[in-house]
Structure 1
Amino acid sequence: MSSDPWGRVDETGTVYVRTADGEQVVGSWQAGSPDEALAYFERKYEGLVVEIGLLEKRVRTTDLSSKDAQVAIDHIRAQVDAHHVVGDLDALRTRLDKLVATVEARREERKQQRAKQSDEARKAKEDLVTEAEQLAQSDQWRAAGERLRALVDIWKGLPRLDRKSDDELWHRFSHARSAFSKRRKAHFAQLDAQREDARRVKERLVAEAEALSGSTDWGPTAARYRDLMTEWKSAGRAQREHEDDLWNRFRGAQDVFFAARSSVFAERDAEQTENLKLKEELAEEAEKILPITDLKAARAAFRTVNERWEAIGHVPRDSRPKVEGRMHAVERAIQEAEEAEWRRSNPEARARAEGLTGQLQAAVDKLRSQIEQARAQGNSSRADKLERELEGRQALLDQALKGLQEFGG
């Protein structure tokens, strides 16, 4: 018979293990000594110790699922409960119970983690749906379209929720994308129609511009080209494949017309510059008539200059006022000399002037007599009043006398 703290072998070769519930039969040993029997079953116990240690490590350090961990624990527990080893079985059960608690704690932790991840995924998908529904109303077609495509990629990277919740959110998300696509399609269809209208309008404008390109009616044609440009700008853009070609034709027709006009205007400007030089020389010749000493000779000289002036064509517009002003000044001087001569030689005007002077002289003489009489009577107030009246009449008389002198009187 042999024994140790955890087991013994009786005389018949039966091996026992000691537990808290008393001795349990491990098995029968007939192949060797009792000590060898205990050593064999103790080695089997150490094997369970090692197996439990490895399982504890796996639970701590790997992502072993709770289900697989529990299967492994149950497998080891079945071996412990079978009592086919010699050792501290109660200690093994205690370690297995702790391991079960650890696995359960990890199961709960993972459950909470999954719930948290699910809540985060739900929140993320709800945010995606909200943003997609806002983008569905946007008119920023390129940016909104690119963002919606990005949202789809983000959605695919998120965990699935429960079927009902996931389907409901996806339905809203998909509906928002469809609504945006429908609005964008309608917008570009309308834009295409507008561009087609613009193309037809611009083709008409191009045809007219090309028809006008050979015109030599410079002013009206240039004005019409300005109107055509205004119509072009208000027509909007045609399709990209037509817009540049139409514009090149439209602009080319204008260039042909304006190049021709510029060439003609350049020749005209050169001619007008030469005309200005000639008129400046004539203005200088006319100015030599002044001052007028012989009216008849002055008139004849100016007439000769003016005839040559009229024979010369236009001058540059900005120079016209100055050079014409010089001629007008000489012409006004001659006219004023003629008016003065006429006044001197007009008997009716002289008679009117003499009559007016005589009337004013009589009135002045009468007022002076009345003033002397009033002062002799001591009526100073009346005398002062008459003197003020006399001042006005005397002024008129002086002016009339001056005019009379112009007639040689």
Structure 2
Amino acid sequence: MSSDPWGRVDETGTVYVRTAEGEKVVGSWQAGTPEEALAYFERKYEGLVVEIGLLEKRVKTTDLSAKDAQTAIEHIRHQVDEHHVVGDLAALSARLDKLVATVDSRREERKAQKAKQADEARSAKEALVTEAEELAQSEQWRSAGERLRALVDTWKGLPRLDRKSDDELWHRFSHARSAFSKRRKAHFAQLDAQREDARKAKERLVAEAEALQNSTDWGATAARYRELMADWKAAGRAQREHEDDLWNRFRGAQDVFFAARSGVFAERDAEQTENLTAKEELAGEAEKLLPVTDLKAARAAFRTLNERWEAIGHVPRDARPKVEGRMHAVERAIQEAEEAEWRRTNPEARARAAGLTGQLQDAVEKLRKQIDAARAAGNDAKADKLSKELEGRQALLDQALKGLE
């Protein structure tokens, strides 16, 4: 008979294990000594210790599910309960009980974590739906479309909710995307129609521009081209594949016209520059007639110069006021000399001037006598008043005499 603290072997080879409830039969051993029997069943016990240790490690360090862990625990507990080993079975049961508590705790933690993740996923999906519904009203077609595609990718990366909630949120999300796509499609359909109208309008403008490109009615045609340009801008853009070609034709027709006009204007400007030089020389000759000393000779010379002036032709517009002003100044001076000569030699005018002079002389003489009389009578106030009147009459008489001369 052999024994140790946790078991014994009796004389019949029956092996027992000691428990709190008393000895339990482990098995029968007939193949060797009792010591070998205890050693064999103790090794089986150590195997359970190792198995429990491995399970504890898996529960603590891996994502072993609670269900799988519980199945493994029950399997080991069944072996412990069958007490086919020799050792501290109570210690094994205690470790298994503790492991069960750990698994239950992990189950609750995972349940809480799963609930938290579900709440976070719900909040995230609700936020995606809200943003999608706001984007559905946007007219920033490109950026909003790109953002909606990014929201779809984000949605796919989120955990699923319960079927009802997930389906309801997805329905709102999908409806917002569809509404945006419908509005964008309608917008671009309208834009295409507008661009087609613009293409037709611009084709008409191009046709008119090309019809005018060889015109020599420079002013009216240039004005019409400005109107066509305003109409072009107001027409809007045509389709991209037509816009550049239409513009090149439209601009090309204008270039033909304005190049021809520029050539003609360049020749005219050169001619007008020569005309300006000639007129400046004539203005210089005319200015030499001043001051007028011989009215008849000055008049004849200016007439000849003016005939030569008229024969020269146009000068540049910006130079015209100055050079014409010089000739007009000479002409006015000659006219003023003619008027002065006429006034001097006009018999009627001289007669009127002589009559006026005689009247003024009589008035001056009369006032002098009245002043002398007032002084003699001692009436100085009256004499002073008459003296002031005399000054005015004398001034008029002096002017009349000068004019008569």
* TM-score past 0.5 threshold: yes
State the match for 1:185 in structure 2. 185
| Cα distance per residue 1:33-77 (max 9 Å; x no partner) | 222221111111111011111111111221111111110000000
Work out whether 1:18 is the aligned partner of 2:47: no
State the match for 1:75 in structure 2. 75
State the match for 2:312 in structure 1. 312
| Cα distance per residue 1:269-314 (max 9 Å; x no partner) | 1111111122122222222223322211221111111111111111
Work out whether 1:218 is the aligned partner of 2:226: no
State the match for 1:349 in structure 2. 349
Letter in 2 for 1:311: A
Q: Which moved more, 1:48-57 or 1:288-297?
A: 288-297
State the match for 1:56 in structure 2. 56
Deviation (angstroms), 1:186: 1.3
Q: Distance in 2 between matches of 1:97 and 1:367?
A: 155
For 1:389-408, list aligned pairs within 5 A: 389-405=389-405
SS at match of 2:101: helix
Deviation (angstroms), 1:258: 0.3
SS at match of 1:11: coil
Work out whether 1:169 is the aligned partner of 2:169: yes
Letter in 2 for 1:322: K
Letter in 2 for 1:47: G
Work out whether 1:43 is the aligned partner of 2:43: yes
State the match for 1:260 in structure 2. 260
State the match for 2:113 in structure 1. 113
State the match for 2:330 in structure 1. 330
| Cα distance per residue 1:329-365 (max 9 Å; x no partner) | 2212211111111111101111111222223333333
Q: Distance in 2 between matches of 1:227 and 1:248?
A: 18
| Cα distance per residue 1:114-145 (max 9 Å; x no partner) | 12221221121111111111111111111111
What is the TM-score normalised by the length of structure 1? 0.95
SS at match of 2:338: helix
Q: Distance in 1 between matches of 2:265 and 2:30?
A: 136
SS at match of 1:321: helix
Q: Distance in 2 between matches of 1:315 and 1:23?
A: 140
State the match for 1:228 in structure 2. 228
State the match for 1:2 in structure 2. 2
**What do you get for the CA RMSD once the two structures are aligned?**
1.6
Q: 1:92 to 1:223 in 2, by over 3 A?
A: same
Q: Distance in 1 between matches of 2:132 and 2:23?
A: 72
Q: Which moved more, 1:72-81 or 1:138-147?
A: 138-147
Equivalent residue pairs, number: 405
| Cα distance per residue 1:350-407 (max 9 Å; x no partner) | 11112222233333333333333444444444444333333333332222222222xx
Unmatched 5+ stretches in structure 1: none
SS at match of 1:64: coil
Letter in 2 for 1:287: E
Q: Distance in 1 between matches of 2:141 and 2:37?
A: 85
SS at match of 1:16: strand
State the match for 1:140 in structure 2. 140
Query: Identity over aligned residues, as a percent?
Result: 86
SS at match of 1:23: strand
Q: Distance in 1 between matches of 2:143 and 2:261?
A: 48
Q: Distance in 2 between matches of 1:135 and 1:363?
A: 105
Q: Distance in 2 between matches of 1:177 and 1:380?
A: 115
Q: Distance in 1 between matches of 2:378 and 2:186?
A: 110
State the match for 2:205 in structure 1. 205
| Cα distance per residue 1:170-219 (max 9 Å; x no partner) | 11111111111111111111111111111111111111111111110001
State the match for 2:102 in structure 1. 102
Q: Distance in 2 between matches of 1:137 and 1:367?
A: 104
Letter in 2 for 1:170: W
Letter in 1 for 2:289: I
Deviation (angstroms), 1:5: 0.6
Letter in 1 for 2:99: L
Q: Which moved more, 1:370-379 or 1:91-100?
A: 370-379
Q: Distance in 1 between matches of 2:250 and 2:190?
A: 26
| Cα distance per residue 1:308-333 (max 9 Å; x no partner) | 11111111112212222222222122
Q: Distance in 2 between matches of 1:207 and 1:365?
A: 93
Q: Distance in 1 between matches of 2:69 and 2:255?
A: 89
Q: Distance in 2 between matches of 1:284 and 1:173?
A: 90
Q: Distance in 1 between matches of 2:369 and 2:162?
A: 133
Letter in 2 for 1:258: F
Q: Distance in 2 between matches of 1:376 and 1:269?
A: 84
Q: Distance in 2 between matches of 1:228 and 1:298?
A: 55
Deviation (angstroms), 1:250: 0.6
Deviation (angstroms), 1:10: 2.0
State the match for 1:122 in structure 2. 122
Q: Distance in 1 between matches of 2:74 and 2:261?
A: 106
Q: Which moved more, 1:315-324 or 1:145-154?
A: 315-324
